[in-house]
Amino acid sequence: MSHLPLRAAALPLLALLAQSTPSPASAGAEDIEEKAQVCASCHGEAGTPVDKSYPLIWGQHQGYLYLQLRDFKLGQRKNEIMNGIAQDMSREDMMGLAEYFSKKTWVNLNQPRASPEEAKRAETAITAGQCSSCHGAEGLGDSTNPRIAGQRREYILKTLQDFRARTRTNNPWMSDITNTLAPEDLEALASYMAGR
């Protein structure tokens, strides 16, 4: 009890120090903007990914983006490129980047609508897989449920196939669902979601 006043007196000084000396782990807005430059080389300067197999991350939900970065860092989601990139990220970096990209505007990639045959197949699969219960009736998602409407077709197909093959390991639920569907259903779903 006797040393309590001393600690109380030291507190304001500590608080001051904490304010004036940014710790290396904490990332300010400028810092994040700089870190996001690295991402632009693949995910696009203006939000359009440079390769068709790369996902759109502009305007994706913050909670979802953060979880993916965390999973890449921990190796729970495997991808050589992203595992390397996330490896040295602090929690603050990941939170900051997730917030930064979630605030950008989703880019309309103007992908063609699914053919009537594919749309019919996709709608049947959506009912069977209850996709809307998590991704929403329009596929817009929220929080940790990703937006899938308007995502790049090639990427959607690849990642659904990865879930199905259980090479994308970070959501066993999505793996179980895709395993109840046929490979052609995944093709139809990718076209349908991309073209919405």
Residues at the binding site are: 39, 42-43, 82, 131, 134-135, 174
Q: Which of 47/129 has CB closer to ligand HEC?
A: 129
To the nearest 10°, report the CA torsion of 92, 93, 99, 102: -150
Cβ distance to ligand HEC smaller for residue 23 or 133:
133
119 binds ligand HEC (CB under 6 A): no
Among residues 121 and 135, whose Cβ is nearest to ligand HEC? 135
The one segment of 8-16, 18-26, 110-118, 156-164 that binds ligand HEC by CB under 6 A: 156-164
Residue 65 binds ligand HEC (CB under 6 A): yes
Positive or negative torsion for Cα 27, 32, 34, 37: positive
Q: Smallest distance, Å, CB 147 to ligand HEC? A: 8
- Report how far residue 149's alpha carbon sits from residue 141's, in angstroms, rounded to the nearest whole number: 9
Interface region with ligand HEC, contact rule CB under 6 A, candidates 8-16, 22-30, 66-74, 103-111: 66-74
68 touches ligand HEC (CB under 6 A):
yes
User: 90 burial class (0-12, 13-18, 19+ CB within 10 angstroms)?
Assistant: middle
User: Which of 23, 98, 113 lies closest to 68, judged by CA?
Assistant: 98
Q: Applying CB under 6 A, which of residues 125, 149, 188, 194 lies at the interface with ligand HEC?
A: 125
Identify the CA nearest to 116 among candidates 193, 196, 192. 192
At 60, which amino acid appears? Q
Residue 32's identity, in one-letter code, is I
Structure tokens at 36: 């996001």
Distance CA 10, CA 130 (A): 57
Please state, in angstroms and rounded to a whole number, the distance separating the CA atoms of residues 95 and 140.
21
- Sites for ligand HEC among residues 18-37 (CB under 6 A): 35
The residues of the shown chain that bind ligand HEC, judged by CB under 6 A, are 35, 38-39, 41-43, 54-55, 57, 65, 67-69, 79, 81-82, 85, 97, 125-126, 129-131, 133-135, 144-146, 148, 151, 156, 158-160, 170-171, 173-174, 177, 189
